[in-house]
Amino acid sequence: MQNRKWILTSLVMTFFGIPILAQFLAAVIAMLGAGLAAILEFCNLLFTPTIYLLLNVFMLTLGALLLFFSGRVWAGDSAPENREIAAWRQCLFLVPALLILVGWIIALHLADYQFRQMVSGWLADLMLPWLGVLLVSLFGGEYWWIVIIPVGTHISFSLGYGWPTRHPLTGTSGLRCRNLLLFLLLLLGIVAGYQAHLYKQQNPGVGVRENIDIWAWRPDKLNNRLTPLRGKPQIQFTQNWPRIDGATAAYPI
């Protein structure tokens, strides 16, 4: 009966508890990131792709730390006395990360590195516990979140949960299974990173949002990459006169 209890609680936490917790934290951190972006816009600072990437790295790192400490808190409240059971529970936490990473690699390869052709079918089935992340990624164009957030969540929470019992590293079947899963995740992470490199080579003008970069070409931003005028312009519009013909009729000039 005791064995059934820890297996049941581990499964519930793996497929429901961790995704719900992570998506709640992701929503809070996303609001924080939106606030920082609004501050940059308000200060009329150039929101370059590099700054956007650094902002994403900051938010992902913050989320990983919060999940790591959440795993430690849960380990303090529910860690079993048997360290072998704790190791097997870590293995259960890592299995969804392995499945999602394998599904991402295969789907991206079969879709010929076209994101819009890969987010259906069995990959979407794997993402059912992460429905919020999947929908936001699809509508926002942040396709890399589909793999980064779930995989990073399960790894961070698992490492936090196993931190109090991190020694010894080997010796039992549970620890060997955990180490094997971590090794496989490392190898698959290298493969996914190589795929990202190939994607960048095939789409050199596309950023992390799969959109053409326009931030550096906005005239209302400081330090933009537009060629400055050498003198006073010969023609100036003092009002937003609407166009009278063409596909952009009624749009201001």
Say what the pLDDT of residue 88 is.
86
Q: From CA 34, how far away is CA 59, in angstroms rounded?
A: 10
Angle (CA) 211-216-221 rounded to 5° is 125
Which of 204, 236, 206 is closest to 144 using CA atoms? 206
pLDDT digits (tens, 9 = 90+) for 200-232: 888 776 655 555 556 667 676 666 677 777 777
Say what the pLDDT of residue 230 is.
74
Q: What is the pTM of this model?
A: 0.77
Q: Which residue has the higher pLDDT, 13 or 140?
A: 13
Find all residues with CB under 8 Å of 249, minimum gap 6, and list them.
242, 243
Q: Which long-range contacts (CB under 8 A, 24 or more apart) does 23-29 make?
A: 23/130, 23/132, 23/133, 25/63, 25/66, 25/67, 26/63, 26/132, 26/133, 26/149, 27/132, 29/59, 29/62, 29/63, 29/66
Query: Residue 184 above 70 pLDDT?
Result: yes
Q: From CA 248, how far away is CA 179, in angstroms rounded?
A: 60
Contact 90, 162 (CB under 8 A): yes
Span 12-40, average pLDDT: 88
pLDDT digits (tens, 9 = 90+) for 136-153: 887 777 788 888 999 999
Share of the chain above pLDDT 90, in %: 23
Say what the pLDDT of residue 23 is.
92
Tokens representing 89 are 């529970």
Domain positions in the chain are 1-202
pLDDT digits (tens, 9 = 90+) for 43-92: 766 566 677 778 888 999 999 999 999 998 888 766 555 677 888 888 99
Say what the pLDDT of residue 108 is.
85
Mean pLDDT, the chain, rounded, equals 79
Say what the pLDDT of residue 1 is.
47
Query: Residue 194 above 60 pLDDT?
Result: yes
Beta bridge partners of 167: none
Please count the CA atoms within 13 angstroms of the CA of 188 that sit on its side-chain side. Answer: 20
Q: From CA 127, how far away is CA 134, in angstroms rounded?
A: 7
Provide the pLDDT confidence category of residue 170 given band limits of 50, 70 and 90: confident
